[in-house]
Amino acid sequence: MLIKVGTRKSPLAIKQSQLACDWLAEHLPEDAFELLPISTDIDSHLDYSLEKQGGAGLFTKELDASILDGTARLAVHSSKDLPIVLDPSLSIAGYLPRASALDVLVSKVPAESIKRIATSSPRRRSQLEHLYPDAEFLTIRGNVETRLNKISDNQADATILAEAGLDRLGISSYKDLYFTTLESPVMVPAAGQGAIAIVCKKEDYGYFSDHLSKDCYDQITLEKECLKILDGGCQSPAGIYIEGSNLHLYHPSLGYKVFRLEGDDFKETYSYLQNLMADLKSQIS
């Protein structure tokens, strides 16, 4: 059976969607998978401020609509871009094995000389303000190469990009720029960062889910539940990352914290994190 897979048109989105198709083709050899590039409204409005105007579903709505109307059977998204609540007719079938969740500081000047930082992410900006309290912050939009060129052209001293995206595009250096990986205690990643999510209709969930990463599904589900309780959206200033048995958490009202996960199985850990986030939520309400 030919299965069409909806994807945004950026080079990174195409690469991630091709990785998803290759993975599914290996595990479902009787099916063929074909990319369906879809234009999204947010990609044509680079002056749109995600921080000021909100961002829930902006990167996903056209792709999800293509599943609902039958144009595509699947859609591929960066997990961190998915809204906390999907259309009730859709499900996250699962994820590919997670790549690096970390962020990379990309700068025109050495890290200690950075004065102007370009980022459209409230989470990244909030944490960078602690590292660079005297810096000027600018907004930046565009695909990965566009952002790299803007920094190389001195439109800002630095920006932040996801390490997974750079790795998938094969970018470990670029022109005259410095690349510095930020470990999770320095820059806590977004919930779900580094994971490629595959969305389908609810009735198709069982057909695809068994062929995707259970470990990644459990990890991302826990992170997203924490985000849902604590702050609630993909443009949240909160950073939430499960690394082994540790939960790294950042919130502007709480600062950086790390917690040891409790529970002998997923259900117990899920319950523990729900209670922990509810308690933290009460501290920032």
Q: What is the pLDDT of residues 133-189, one digit of tens each?
A: 999 999 988 899 999 999 999 999 999 999 999 999 999 999 999 999 999 999 999
pLDDT at 18 over 70: yes
pLDDT band at 277 (very low <50, low <70, confident <90, very high): very high
pLDDT in tens, 210-248: 999 999 999 999 999 999 998 766 568 999 999 999 999
Measuring CA to CA, which residue among 57, 31, 29 is closest to residue 42?
A: 57
The pLDDT score that the predictor gives to residue 182 is: 97
DSSP at 69? T
The pLDDT score that the predictor gives to residue 45 is: 42
Collapsing DSSP to helix, strand or coil, 209 comes out as helix
**Do the beta carbons of residue 160 and residue 118 sit within 8 Å?**
no
pLDDT band at 61 (very low <50, low <70, confident <90, very high): confident
Mean pLDDT of 36-65: 64
Q: What CATH number does the domain located at 2-99+191-284 have?
A: 3.40.190.10
Domain ranges of the chain: 2-99+191-284, 103-182
The pLDDT score that the predictor gives to residue 177 is: 97
**Do the beta carbons of residue 125 and residue 159 sit within 8 Å?**
no
pLDDT at 62 over 80: yes
The pLDDT score that the predictor gives to residue 60 is: 82
* Residues 6+ positions from 226 with CB-CB distance below 8 Å: 191, 240, 247, 249, 273, 276, 277
pLDDT at 123 over 80: yes
Average pLDDT, the chain: 91
Collapsing DSSP to helix, strand or coil, 39 comes out as coil
Q: Which residues on neighbouring strands pair with residue 4, listed in sequence order?
A: 34
Buried b (16+ CB within 10 A) or exposed e, 82-119: bbbeebeebbbbbbbebbbbbbbbbbbeeeeebebbbb
The pLDDT score that the predictor gives to residue 232 is: 64
The pLDDT score that the predictor gives to residue 231 is: 77
pLDDT at 48 over 50: no
Q: Comparing 2-99+191-284 with 103-182, is the CATH topology the same?
A: yes
Q: Which residues are catalytically annotated?
A: 81
Residue 249, token pair as written in the block: 């958490």
The pLDDT score that the predictor gives to residue 141 is: 81
Mean pLDDT of 116-145: 94
Q: What is the residue-wise DSSP string for 152-170?
A: HTTS-SEEEEEHHHHHHTT
pLDDT band at 84 (very low <50, low <70, confident <90, very high): confident
The pLDDT score that the predictor gives to residue 52 is: 46
Tell me how far apart the alpha carbons of residues 65 and 69 are, in angstroms, rounded to a whole number: 6
Question: Which pTM was predicted?
Answer: 0.90
Residue 126 CA: distances (Å) to CA of 133, 142, 222: 10, 21, 23
pLDDT band at 53 (very low <50, low <70, confident <90, very high): very low
Domain 103-182: give its CATH architecture. 3-Layer(aba) Sandwich (3.40)
* Residues 6+ positions from 244 with CB-CB distance below 8 Å: none
Tell me how far apart the alpha carbons of residues 155 and 147 are, in angstroms, rounded to a whole number: 10
pLDDT at 114 over 80: yes
